[in-house]
Amino acid sequence: MSDNAKRPAIARIWRGRTRPERADEYEAYNYEVGIKPLIEKALGVQTFREDRDTHSEFMTISYWESVEAMARFTGSDPTRIHHLDRDAEFLIELPTEVQILEIRASHGDTGGDGR
């Protein structure tokens, strides 16, 4: 099956929180160091940010054809967190887990840039 014909079957969800004053800097760093390599390997990637008074929360959802495909990207157990070099500097606490969900149904266009 060609890459164009592959359909996402698995979503891998990562969450992290920064202090509001570091959110813009972390967002730029995370995109350059974490998201760009992910875009090259995953079938799709979405990033989200919610700003609150006490923190800014980031969420990255990557889409994969299988758990095995995620394991090829991570080089090991896809449920294991792979912290970026500067995550400890930016994040309020280092995440200890990711969420891996089987996609049961998908409707509409969820892949647009939202702009």
Question: What's the CATH number where 51 sits?
Answer: 3.30.70.100
Domain of residue 59: give its range: 3-102
What is the number of other CB atoms lying within 10 angstroms of the CB of residue 7?
A: 10
* Local confidence band at 5 (pLDDT 50, 70, 90 cut-offs): low
- Assess if residue 17 is contained within a domain: yes
pLDDT at 29: 98
Structure-token pair, residue 60: 């990255």
- Assess if residue 109 is contained within a domain: no
- Assess if residue 113 is contained within a domain: no
- Assess if residue 107 is contained within a domain: no
Contact 43, 66 (CB under 8 A): no
CA dist 107 and 54 (Å) reads 34
pLDDT at 11: 95
- Assess if residue 29 is contained within a domain: yes
b/e per residue, 81-113, with b = 16+ CB within 10 A?
Answer: eeebeebeebbeeeeeebeeeeeeeeeeeeeee
pLDDT 10s digits, 24-45: 999 999 999 999 999 999 999 9
Task: Supply the pTM of this predicted model.
Answer: 0.86
- What SS3 class is residue 42? coil
pLDDT at 110: 60
- Assess if residue 96 is contained within a domain: yes
Residue 6, phi then psi, degrees to nearest 5: -70, 140
Domain tally for the chain? 1
**Percentage of residues in the chain having pLDDT higher than 90:** 69
